[in-house]
Amino acid sequence: MSLEKIIYKKNNDLSKKIDKQKVPEHVAIIMDGNGRWATKKGLPRSFGHNKGVSVLKEIIKVSKKLGCKVLTVYAFSTENWTRPTKEVDFLINLFTEVLKNEIEEIHQELIKIKFIGDLTPFPENLKKIIFSSESLTKNNKNFLLNICVNYGGRQEIVKVAQKLALKSISGEIKPSEVNEELFNSELLTQGINDPELLIRTSGEKRISNFLLWQLAYSEIYISEVLWPDFNENEFLKAIIDYQSRNRRFGGIESLPNQSFKDSYFSP
């Protein structure tokens, strides 16, 4: 049997183990290990980021095929600005080029794309393509792809606190009315259910300032595989592992999956 056939058979076997009724609706991913992958191969780190893009494309296809509805990926954190200028510039250029080249296909696949984070420091050409991509895909209802750029979980929470404090000072709300629901409604992810599953690649066991509020009850799956080597098979392993968990949310009974929200796809 050829190597391709063996890999295909293995994936096929794994997909048979998936319970279609218990597929997570929202999966968040920390795509880690691009640099290490390249360095191990004696290549510049940029090669790892390039390969990372093709892996992301594969994972979007697989998660969509499985029946997931939302994928939220961490593409650039507020801390990533501390990398050498050359790498930051490379990543900004990569986001711009990928969007230019892929947006038509994304749109044809009826994927809605949304950028989460503070876009202010990015160059105008990137901001322009981000806004036009969001606008082009805003009515798509098949799948939601959230790309977190210049995103930090603490910064997001502080911003919500500031907004609520201002509303309170202006008399729009009373301090006693501040609750989880109101807080949720001011988050960058407002209207979207929290991820049931967080996947982090490259064996690191940290949340790294990603979706701090939203991940409160998410199941965490750490894959030892570096992001450029992650693939359908590894994703299926994460889903199978997730399906073996008993989600009790602090109680003693296992609770069913949350229900799908139409509001994800409201423009």
Our finding on whether 22 is near ligand FPP (CB under 6 A) is no
Among residues 24, 28, 49, 71, the one that binds ligand FPP under rule CB under 6 A: 49
Our finding on whether 117 is near ligand FPP (CB under 6 A) is no
Closest distance between ligand FPP and the C-beta of residue 119, in Å? 13
Our finding on whether 152 is near ligand FPP (CB under 6 A) is no
Our finding on whether 56 is near ligand FPP (CB under 6 A) is yes
C-beta neighbour count of 172 within 10 angstroms: 10
Per CB under 6 A, the segment of 33-41, 125-133, 160-168, 182-190 that binds ligand FPP is 33-41
With beta carbons less than 8 A apart as the criterion, state whether 194 and 27 touch: no
Q: Pick the closer one to ligand FPP by CB: 33 or 195.
A: 33
118-147 mask for ligand FPP (x: CB under 6 A)?
A: -----------------------------x
Q: Pick the closer one to ligand FPP by CB: 41 or 163.
A: 41
User: What are the tokens at 217?
Assistant: 């009850």
- Exactly one of 80, 209, 231, 233 is catalytic; name it: 80
Q: How far is CA 261 from CA 22, 113, 131, 193, in A?
A: 16, 16, 24, 7
Binding-site size for ligand FPP (CB under 6 A) equals: 15
Nearest alpha-carbon partner for 235 in 193, 195, 199: 199
Task: Return the amino acid letter for 68.
Answer: C
Closest distance between ligand FPP and the C-beta of residue 95, in Å? 5
Our finding on whether 32 is near ligand FPP (CB under 6 A) is yes
Rounded Cα gap, residues 186 and 157, in angstroms: 9
Our finding on whether 33 is near ligand FPP (CB under 6 A) is yes
Among residues 36, 159, 245, 261, the one that binds ligand FPP under rule CB under 6 A: 36
Torsion sign over Cα 200, 185, 135, 125: negative
Nearest alpha-carbon partner for 45 in 53, 55, 35: 35
Our finding on whether 113 is near ligand FPP (CB under 6 A) is no
Is 93 one of the catalytic residues? no
Active-site residue list: 32, 80
Interacting residues toward ligand FPP by CB under 6 A: 31-36, 49, 52-53, 56, 75, 80, 95, 98, 147
